[in-house]
Amino acid sequence: MDLRGKTLLITGASRGIGLAIGRKAAADGANVVIAAKTTDPNPKLPGTIYTAAEEIRAAGGQALPLAVDIRDEEAVLAAVAKAVETFGGIDVLVNNASAISLTDTEHTPMKRYDLMNGINARGTYLCTQACLPELKKSARAGRRPQVLTMSPPLSMKQHWFAPHTAYTMAKYGMSMCTLGHSGEFAKYGIAVNSLWPRTAIATAALQMIPGVDLDLCRKPDILADAAYFILTADEPASGNFYIDDEVLAAHGVSDLERYSVKPGTKRFIPDFFVD
């Protein structure tokens, strides 16, 4: 199975992992809805919804760039309506948009707490809820709809919480959506899974964290390739918390050198939440 003719709504797809997944799907001829906030160029955060659309089209897909703050219910519902108007439905939702602040409780203002939980946990829930009617239609049409969320396996260990309780709560909120919705949506024939990297990924957001050496990271393409295998499975599984290199290994991909930011790197920065 491939993604030709399918419509993917990807949040946070103006750059990084979301854009990489969009490009990979576009190579099959998929329709990609780019739901993100960036409309004007920013020297610190390269990429807008419009430059992303250009890349999607260049890769062979159809693109619909939409300015969406996923904390805004009306904006999300309008984006879903526009996607349906343009492409006729939605087959795949990729919950990729996320906010990060690796700060302890003393140094996490409530404004930052609200931002992370509003985008990560609430935004994932809202986008899934808004897309659900279209995903159900896709299931009835035999198109094997899926929700794929960029969030980690749930590990209730103190060391994943103590350094940045607010961020962990927000990120695990996304994973709890996967856990709950995979069970809730099984009766509709909608697969719901999470995907997470084993190593740090070189994204614009990571570049803004002091002290991170991007040469010790992998490229977003590793997640795009893993996501592609998940989304094109003949019989999609549900309720899984996939790790990128394990997905690739299951499909015969053991040489990960091409994903290294710096060729020849053997020791990578491990990502959070992987025991």
- Catalytic residues, by residue number, are 167
- Please count the other Cβ atoms lying within 10 Å of the Cβ belonging to residue 272: 18
DSSP code for 118? I
Taking the CA of residue 266 as centre, how many other CA atoms within 13 Å lie in the half-sphere pointing to its CB?
0
Residues 6+ apart with CB under 8 A from 142: none
Within 23-61, strands assigned E span: 31-36
Per-position b or e across 206-218, b if 16+ CB within 10 A of its CB: beeeeeeebebbb
**What gap in Å lies between CA 6 and CA 225, rounded to an integer?**
17
CA 167 to chain centre: 16
Give the residue from 119, 99, 122 showing the smallest Cα distance to 177.
122
